[in-house]
Structure 1
Amino acid sequence: MTAPKAITFDCYGTIIDWDRAVQNYFRNILAQYDINNADVVALQRHWENIQFTYIQDHYRPYKEVLKHTMAMAFREFGYPFSTDDCIAFSESMGSWEPFPDAKEALLELKKLTKIALITNTDDAIINETVTHLGVDFDEIITAEQAGVYKANHQGFHLALERLGIERSELLHVGFGFKYDVVPATELNIKSCWVNRYGETRPANVKETFLVGDMSTLALLIKGMAHST
């Protein structure tokens, strides 16, 4: 198989350590109310399910999504929170830390192919994240630009248009199976599932490649490039 002419990435959860950031933020909020034994993993999963449904409706700015869905999840779990807590959560995303292997892998991949982001966030948030990460992407497509969130296909269409390539020349990489692997498969775009935690495949869809981290992805693409 030949190396892709471009690789598009999901950002939060694939490059940025989404789980750790969200769980730590929820844990710290609850600690303010002397709640120290909460199952923040379950709370995060519930919040993510709420968010997935919430963003399938009409487009809203992502900071608004973060504020409203956090409030919904905390309320449904019976946990205390304030409006200021929700605002602070929505303002924190741009400073969340990347996975330790992410930057080096991206810089290695950039030597071999174009790299781009298709991300379910706003321009301001991703600009802060990219500055913090220190990687220069060839293209960045946000939900704000597309006017919709993944798993909608519009962000993928924008990426193909801006990168000037065919679907067969693109590889899309993500950890969010229903946000990334499923729509890429529907569009006949090759996909790579970055499954860091050994999760069970959640849908009857098969990714093209499966890796456990970004370092392995970089090795995979290097092998393709060298064989070509």
Structure 2
Amino acid sequence: MRLSDFKALSFDCYGTLIDWESGMIEGLRTLTERVERPLTRDEILQAHARHESQQQAQTPWKPYRELLPIVYKRLCEQWGVSYTNAQCEEYGRSVQNWPAFVDSPGALQYLKKYFKLIILSNVDNRSFQHSNDKLQVEFDAIYSAEDMGAYKPADKTFEYMNAHLGDLGLEPKDVLHTAESMFHDHEPGNRFGYTGCHIYRRHDQKGFGATMTPGTMPTFDFRFNSMADMVKAHQEELREA
């Protein structure tokens, strides 16, 4: 199997193209600095993952920018820190500050020459626009949680993408689903029969960071430590051809 066998790449955005973990840590700094005991980076990310995934399951219709303030509130309660509504709402707007991984824009611009590019992301459209500006590429389709009325890993998200691929002249077999998260992406991707490409951003770290453990590990067909490595592999395929 080769990367060049596919006509399109569908991407998770946060954790794969945007460095959401660094964005979270920075966005939560005014909270975590007030916690009585020092928290490790992974403690912060794992707590965030738990509260976020619970809230996404409970209120799948709520836009991400309105869901994050609830996560902030739950973290404050967990760690015994006072909060105001203004602080919660400020964190809800923090996605606009989350940085792109340094290799994402260039890699996407290269891949755009050979593939259609699709976003399948747990985000609202307003927040994603800020991220899209950082990624510096025009996607062929953007399927957001706000559009879908659900958050990955819910079946409804991949069902939504399947229902709209025909608009791009594609079938699921034409698409390589490219993502970091085992929980949000590769596990449901397996259920829907997608070929998977794991961008292993956390290859030098333990655990799952800002995502929940998937339980039984999903399968995937490609693995790269970065988007830059994915580009190198595609370039090597072209040289061999």
Structure 1 length as normaliser, TM-score? Answer: 0.90
Deviations for 1:63-116, whole angstroms, at most 9, x for unmatched residues?
121010121122112233322111111112023110011111111111111111
Deviations for 1:27-75, whole angstroms, at most 9, x for unmatched residues?
23344x4869333431221111121122123421111210101211221
Q: Distance in 2 between matches of 1:54 and 1:221?
A: 38
Alignment partner of 1:171 is 2:176: yes
Superposition map of 1:9-24 within 5 A = 9-24=11-26
The aligned length equals 227
Deviates more, 1:123-132 or 1:112-121: 123-132
Q: 1:214 to 1:13 in 2, by over 3 A?
A: same
In structure 2, the residue matched to 1:189 is: 194
Which structure 1 segments of 5+ residues have no match? Answer: none
2:157 to 155, 158, 176: 155
AA at the equivalent of 1:214: M
Q: Distance in 2 between matches of 1:148 and 1:34?
A: 32
Deviates more, 1:154-163 or 1:204-213: 154-163
Does the 8 A contact of 2:105 with 2:134 survive in 1? no
Does the 8 A contact of 2:11 with 2:119 survive in 1? yes
Q: Secondary structure at the match of 1:216?
A: helix
Q: 1:224 to 1:80 in 2, by over 3 A?
A: farther
Q: Secondary structure at the match of 1:185?
A: helix
AA at the equivalent of 2:40: D
Which structure 2 segments of 5+ residues have no match? Answer: none
Does the 8 A contact of 2:8 with 2:116 survive in 1? yes
Does the 8 A contact of 1:26 with 1:40 survive in 2? no
Q: Distance in 2 between matches of 1:133 and 1:112?
A: 17
Q: Distance in 1 between matches of 2:107 and 2:181?
A: 19
In structure 2, the residue matched to 1:89 is: 91
Alignment partner of 1:206 is 2:219: yes
In structure 1, the residue matched to 2:234 is: 221
Deviations for 1:103-150, whole angstroms, at most 9, x for unmatched residues?
111111111111110010111111122123321111111011111111
Does the 8 A contact of 2:187 with 2:217 survive in 1? no
Identity, % of aligned positions: 24
Q: Distance in 1 between matches of 2:239 and 2:172?
A: 22
Give 1:224 shift. 4.3
Structure 2 length as normaliser, TM-score? Answer: 0.85
AA at the equivalent of 2:79: F
